[in-house]
Structure 1
Amino acid sequence: MSALAFLLASPLIGGLVLALVGHRDNARDVNVGFSLATFIAACVLTAEVVRGGPQLLWNREFYVDALNVFLVTLTAFVGLTTAIFSRPYMRIERDHGKMTPPRLRLYHSMYQLFSFTMLLALTTNNLGIVWVAMEAATLTTVLLVSVYRTAASLEAAWKYFILCGVGIAQALFGTVLLYMAAEKVIGAEGGALLWTNLDAVKAQLDPNIITLAFAFLFIGYGTKVGLVPVHNWLPDAHAEGPTPVSAVLSGLLLNVALYAVLRCKVLTDGALHSPLTGRLMMGFGLLSVVAAVFFLIRQKDVKRMFAYSSIEHMGMMTFAFGMGGPIASYAGLLHMTVHSLIKSAIFFAVGHATQKAGSQLMEEIRGLIRVSPTVGWGLMLGALAILGMPPFGVFASEFLIVTTAMREQAWATPWLLIALGLAFASVFSRVQPMVFGETTLKPLAHPPALIPVFVHLALGLLLGLYIPPYLDAWYRQAAAMLVGGP
């Protein structure tokens, strides 16, 4: 069995197995086991691509190159660490009566199927299957968000389903338009939705149809990215769903949706030879950064606050990819990586903090450093890292983005700097009393298992100090592909 087949089969089989045994006590370990198998397969596939270059597999329906292979590895890694984190988290939720056996079965099975849909979207060469996988990811996460079956969680899931359903319908129409343009050049029997075929003939595609197609694709997949003004589902989904779901939503799903936008951008740029796509992405990216910061300032719920932080960072990535060029694209890929690692670590720490306090309201969470030093330091270091404090990787990527904007898009630089400053002041002023404030809660008898938190923070720190050569080569190759280089 090839590495790709194993990569896709592991979470799919895991979802089916856990649909039968997901309510048992050992289901948490089974979930980790399948996630570990998926990560091992991702590492093997990555080694094959690094050694032998891009791969076209299974009648050209699947394609793995420098752009998506590192996202595959990142997705599998965060999926594994989140599964490890959810073991003690879900046990406590069960003990508190929030998770019944049927809900645990639903959670574990949908978790694996969600991983499958994201990996399918990343590895397929067919833009039609990308759309199907994104729609399936929506359906699985709707069930995950609503798993508590409270009025608030059902409302959040319904809002998520409606907004993302409308968005994904726009993406479907864009995909149909893309097929219409490609069929004229490639022919109906020539694989008109295969990305490699489209990339080869992108200069021959009808620019008028492609312009309209990208507009619908950008709106559709941009809804899943969480770009303002189609972001409303994201804070509610984070706040009302289980914390492990918040971690994979921020750390993984948003990346996959942005990946789909980038694949479409490459085709549109080749057909139009104009800066239209870049300007569109810069405009919505900057709007998302600025608007998210002002929403973030008003939040009282800790998970909603970090949800708006995710919108801000996705806006930063979108702005970077909109600027284009090798440096901005490199910075966007680096930011995508460190944001996934750091934000998921923050949600891990927040999960334990909210369980201990019995509330997600920040004013009711105090003195974490006394209650549990590992949780307190995990949250504080994670907050400093995501706010761009050196020497963490977020500082490196944001520094590259802002300095590139100073040189190429000077008009946007003041807005970026003001937004980053306000975000720092707002988040730090909320997190500091949560960690160091006075509390009457008793210290935890045993420190929670927070190895995933500190592993993620260590990797985020490493990427701020030193980028391994093989990862640097991925970023350079992916950036070159995004800007049309060799």
Structure 2
Amino acid sequence: MIELQLLALLVMPLTGGIVLAVFGARAWAAELNSVMSGCTFAASVLLSIAVIDSGPQTAFNEQFFIDQFNVFLVALTAFVAFTTSLFSRPYMRIEQHHGKLSTSMLHLYYSMYQLFTFTMLVALTTNNMGIIWVAMEAATLTTVLLVSLYRTPASLEAAWKYFILCGVGIALALFGTILLYFAAERVIGDGGTALLWTHLNEVKGSLEPTVLKLAFVFLLVGYGTKIGLVPLHSWLPDAHAEGPTPVSAVLSGLLLNVALCAVMRSKVLVDGSLGNHFAGNLMMGFGLLSVVVAALFLSRQKDIKRMFAYSSIEHMGLITFAFGMGGKVATFAALLHMTMHSLTKSAIFFAVGHAVQKSGTQQMDRIRGLMQVSPTVGWGLMLGTLAILGMPPFGVFASEFLIITTAMHEYPWTTPFLLVALGIAFAAIFGRVQPMVLGQATVKPLPHTPALLPVFIHLLLVLILGLYMPAYLANWYRQAAALLS
């Protein structure tokens, strides 16, 4: 049964990508993109229910493995991909109306969007550490085409920078994967199971600690480039600023999580082999550095998409820091924050996309009076900003509170850095967004009705989870946290 559900999950976006590659120029391509994304989300819900009820399971000759941790990310990925596809329909038509996109560009966009979803789901569900690497490289290639969609000099430069930096990072991750295989081969043998995570997890205590330590350094640096950890982050602001806004939403809300999932799978093995906090200390160091540096860069931004790109770096640093602390509470908080960030940041980019279309610019000092011209866009941007800044009662407040209080108890020396960085980020972002929403109107109406339902669906979920955590969901997070800690 689990194999059929997993097959449906993976076949939907793959079929969608192939069909849209052939028929993507048709008028109904946007609708088909949304339908295929909706079917993928439905398949993820069925798979999640089965795994939560039955526990971790392997499929297809152990090449795929589903547990409470990765199925949580599968459901989150499929949901945000679905709502982003709904947002894409009017957004991309407005871009075409403004002359920024041609029919052939939309053809490429819809096919690559489905294939990007497919590669992320493969990376999340595979049991083979080598296939994770292949899927992450495929995700890079599809997003390079999406970032360069506008074919402007700036977008081509951003895509090239993204490709080069993430290519170097993924090469380092490959070397780390080879070292992992080298350590496993001595214990498991030279069969086809030496890179299967479930087999590695069973013998992690017997793996050579020195080799595992070196492998994790390469894996963290390699996949950390995809996560956007400082100092490996420089591709991320450019890719967000120059690519279409739906691509920014899925990059911030999804791809960064997938790369972090690969790091966490590696951390579990290294912790079991070394029996100390080596991997956690490295993650805490990179995470804390990312939070502080991103907060400082926030105050210097003039482009709204670049500003929220640095916000993504800050929050991924906070999640990495929490995972690095380890323990069930910190890991629970990291999983919760991962959920809140994905939902909130994608909602913000939805609102930002329409704000940019209304004003014709991404420069924040030239966007004013959103609340007067389009109250829904204005409210969406303001509420999303308050949510991502950790204002109660939104769920980001709950996850950040858990992370900071755990840090106060376990690593009190980190608390001043976290509090100062979060304070700087609050002042920088709120100080820029407030006049954009409430200032004198300089924007104009759009030729098509914007898709703002996904914005408020995401923000409503973040608000509900900030006020009340359903027992079913809390138990899901606890099971995932137990697996990782």
TM-score range with shorter-chain normalisation?
over 0.9
Structure 1 counterpart of 2:80: 78
Q: 1:369 aligns with which of 360, 365, 371?
A: 371
Structure 2 counterpart of 1:216: 218
Distance in 2 of aligned mates of 1:437 and 1:164:
39
Q: 1:64 aligns with which of 58, 63, 66?
A: 66
Structure 2 counterpart of 1:334: 336
The answer to whether the Cα contact below 8 Å between 1:14 and 1:112 also exists between their aligned partners in 2 is yes
The residue identity in structure 2 corresponding to 1:480 is A
Structure 2 counterpart of 1:48: 50
Structure 2 counterpart of 1:404: 406
Distance in 2 of aligned mates of 1:70 and 1:275:
25
The residue identity in structure 1 corresponding to 2:244 is P
Indicate the SS of the match to 2:101: coil
The residue identity in structure 1 corresponding to 2:394 is F
Change beyond 3 A, Cα 1:269–1:357: same
Q: 1:122 aligns with which of 118, 121, 124?
A: 124
Structure 1 counterpart of 2:177: 175
Structure 2 counterpart of 1:253: 255
Structure 2 counterpart of 1:240: 242
Structure 2 counterpart of 1:471: 473
Shift of 1:449: 2.4
Which deviates further from its counterpart, 17-26 or 306-315? 17-26
Shift of 1:441: 3.6
The answer to whether the Cα contact below 8 Å between 2:358 and 2:444 also exists between their aligned partners in 1 is no
Shift of 1:102: 1.1
The answer to whether the Cα contact below 8 Å between 1:89 and 1:352 also exists between their aligned partners in 2 is yes
For this pair of structures, how many residues does the alignment match?
Answer: 483
Change beyond 3 A, Cα 1:22–1:200: same
Structure 1 counterpart of 2:18: 16
Structure 2 counterpart of 1:267: 269
> Does 1:142 find its partner at 2:144?
yes
The answer to whether the Cα contact below 8 Å between 1:293 and 1:309 also exists between their aligned partners in 2 is yes
Distance in 1 of aligned mates of 2:150 and 2:176:
35
Structure 2 counterpart of 1:28: 30
Q: 1:435 aligns with which of 434, 437, 443?
A: 437
Q: Which runs of 5+ in 1 are unaligned?
A: none
Q: 1:360 aligns with which of 359, 362, 377?
A: 362
Q: 2:424 aligns with which of 422, 429, 438?
A: 422
The residue identity in structure 2 corresponding to 1:158 is W
Shift of 1:440: 3.9
Indicate the SS of the match to 2:65: strand
The answer to whether the Cα contact below 8 Å between 1:372 and 1:444 also exists between their aligned partners in 2 is no
Distance in 2 of aligned mates of 1:421 and 1:405:
17
Structure 2 counterpart of 1:201: 203
Runs of 4+ deviating beyond 3 Å: 440-447
The answer to whether the Cα contact below 8 Å between 2:94 and 2:448 also exists between their aligned partners in 1 is no
Indicate the SS of the match to 1:2: helix
Shift of 1:206: 0.2
Q: Deviations along 1:262-305, whole A, 9 cap, x unmatched?
A: 00000000000111111100011000000001111100000000
The residue identity in structure 1 corresponding to 2:412 is A
The answer to whether the Cα contact below 8 Å between 1:342 and 1:456 also exists between their aligned partners in 2 is yes
Shift of 1:424: 0.4
Structure 2 counterpart of 1:308: 310
With the length of structure 2 as denominator, give the TM-score of the two structures. Answer: 0.98
Change beyond 3 A, Cα 1:126–1:44: same
Indicate the SS of the match to 2:58: strand
The answer to whether the Cα contact below 8 Å between 2:333 and 2:402 also exists between their aligned partners in 1 is yes
Shift of 1:448: 2.4
The answer to whether the Cα contact below 8 Å between 1:330 and 1:475 also exists between their aligned partners in 2 is yes
Change beyond 3 A, Cα 1:237–1:440: closer
Shift of 1:47: 1.1
The answer to whether the Cα contact below 8 Å between 2:161 and 2:235 also exists between their aligned partners in 1 is yes
Q: Deviations along 1:316-337, whole A, 9 cap, x unmatched?
A: 0000000001100000000000
Indicate the SS of the match to 2:451: coil
Which deviates further from its counterpart, 464-473 or 271-280? 464-473
Shift of 1:482: 1.0
Q: Deviations along 1:182-232, whole A, 9 cap, x unmatched?
A: 000000115000000000000000001000000000000000000000000
Distance in 2 of aligned mates of 1:382 and 1:142:
27
Distance in 2 of aligned mates of 1:241 and 1:16:
23
Taking only the aligned residue pairs, the percentage that are identical comes to 70
Distance in 2 of aligned mates of 1:77 and 1:22:
22
The answer to whether the Cα contact below 8 Å between 1:370 and 1:443 also exists between their aligned partners in 2 is no
The answer to whether the Cα contact below 8 Å between 2:348 and 2:384 also exists between their aligned partners in 1 is yes
Distance in 1 of aligned mates of 2:140 and 2:472:
33
Q: 2:160 aligns with which of 137, 154, 158?
A: 158
Distance in 1 of aligned mates of 2:476 and 2:81:
21
Structure 2 counterpart of 1:394: 396
With the length of structure 1 as denominator, give the TM-score of the two structures. Answer: 0.98
Distance in 1 of aligned mates of 2:450 and 2:373:
11
The answer to whether the Cα contact below 8 Å between 2:348 and 2:381 also exists between their aligned partners in 1 is yes
Distance in 2 of aligned mates of 1:188 and 1:14:
37
Shift of 1:446: 7.4
The residue identity in structure 1 corresponding to 2:238 is D
Change beyond 3 A, Cα 1:81–1:41: same
Shift of 1:445: 8.1
